[in-house]
Amino acid sequence: MKRLFFILSALLFTACGTPITDKPLIHNSSPVPVSLTRETASFQSAEYQALTYDEVKAIWISYLELAEICTDGEESFREKFADMLDNCVDIGINTVYVHVRTFSDSFYPSEYYPYTKAFNGKPFDALEIMIDEAHKRQLSFHAWINPLRCETGEVLDSMSEKYPVKKWYEDPEKYLQYIMYVEETGHYWLDPGVEAVRELIAKGAGEIVKNYNVDGVHIDDYFYPTTESYFDAGVYVEQGSDLPFDEWRFENCTAMVKQIYEAVKAENSTVEFGIAPQGNIENNYNYMFADVKKWCAEEGFCDYICPQIYFGYNNPYKPFAETVDAWVKLCSESGKKLIIGIGAYKINSEDEFINEIGIVSRQADLSLQKTNGAAMFSYNSFFKTERGEQEAALVKKTLRKK
């Protein structure tokens, strides 16, 4: 009780709550590589030169899409993933952002994380297969990880004791708020304010680059999962920071991003590190404690930024074209590589996207005119329904004419 009183008292004097100011929440045919100096291969080698593109035409492939194809073994997975990549190449994609770690688990053998439950008890090295198939098709492969999100309590209970996340989960008294349950999400989350947590995340990113010929490492907008103080107040007090509570949280996310960047570059300087924050710039500050302006403006945090501008042209709060311009301005002085994330999934869920066939294609065209590229979320949006196939055909015309 005394400890709780101390924590709450400290927060009253140091926290600087930030008001919520915006409504929306996020919940070509023959491209020329920047560098490609070797035959494709799935094993890592010291001389590997990452395959990257000046003009990026990307698509996200999520763990949900991988889970649909990974339960029948390696041979079946290779065949089905190869078909997915053929579809991507057909519409003009040159870069794939593929989930390889989603809930502090992995689609590959890892020293730091257990296999994903998506394998249904029959794990194999899906990452090696995916890179191999991507490089056969001259696709740049970026390993997409969620640094902080963990599994449910049920899954963590059955996890092996050899993994750091399990040790922290099992002994919350010793590892104060290293990992916390966030009711709104139904999952446990790691606390970026803890140095050991940031070190684990950085080592995990470095492990991927060390062991595989990936062309990039990619994180999205899962930073702080809540603005509530219960999540990390104890760590804040124990560290005795002089910073206001919110500012301390910003520093934690920035430190995490920097450590991931440095871990990637230490293993292979040609591999890119990219961030896909929320497209609503203010939401990054009001909810996520993600200092995107700093990351865009300064060196040492990322090679590219890919904001998820999942809005229509007529969105009343963040219309697409104006929001793209805001990000262009943010990156203009530093020359940071800017790729626009487009919400292709909305063709089945939001009126403007449903009523106007071709809106995703229009957004991709605008993005390619004004920035370094476009990335679409996600694969199944184009290849699972008749409506998606109609949109994909129009996207194909846009991407292949460039």
For residue 402, the model assigns a pLDDT of 60
| Rounded Cα–Cα distance for residues 96 and 110 (Å) | 22
Residue 47 is predicted with a pLDDT of: 75
Strand partners for 342 = 376
Q: Which of 223, 227, 305, 311 is nearest to 272 (CA)?
A: 305
Helix, strand, or coil here: 276?
coil
CA gap 373, 56 in Å, rounded? 4
**In CATH, what number does 53-145+194-401 get?**
3.20.20.80
User: Each residue's pLDDT tens digit in the chain (402 positions)?
Assistant: 334 444 444 443 333 333 333 333 333 222 333 333 333 334 444 579 999 999 999 999 999 999 999 999 999 999 999 999 999 999 999 999 999 999 999 999 999 999 999 999 999 999 999 999 999 999 999 999 999 999 999 999 999 999 999 999 999 999 999 999 999 999 999 999 999 999 999 999 999 999 999 999 999 999 999 999 999 999 999 999 999 999 999 999 999 999 999 999 999 999 999 999 999 999 999 999 999 999 999 999 999 999 999 999 999 999 999 999 999 999 998 989 999 999 999 999 999 999 999 999 999 999 999 999 999 999 999 999 999 999 999 999 999 986
Neighbours of 316 (CB within 10 A): 9
Tokens 């460039």 sit at which residue? 402
Predicted pLDDT of residue 335: 87
Q: How far apart are CA 304 and CA 4, in angstroms?
A: 41
Q: Which two tokens stand for residue 307?
A: 């904001």
Please report, for the chain, the start and end positions of each structural domain, with discontinuous segments joined by +: 53-145+194-401
Which residues in 335-372 are b (16+ Cβ under 10 Å) and which e? ebbbbbbbbbbbbeebeebeeeebbbbbbbbbbbeebb
Q: Give this prediction's pTM.
A: 0.90
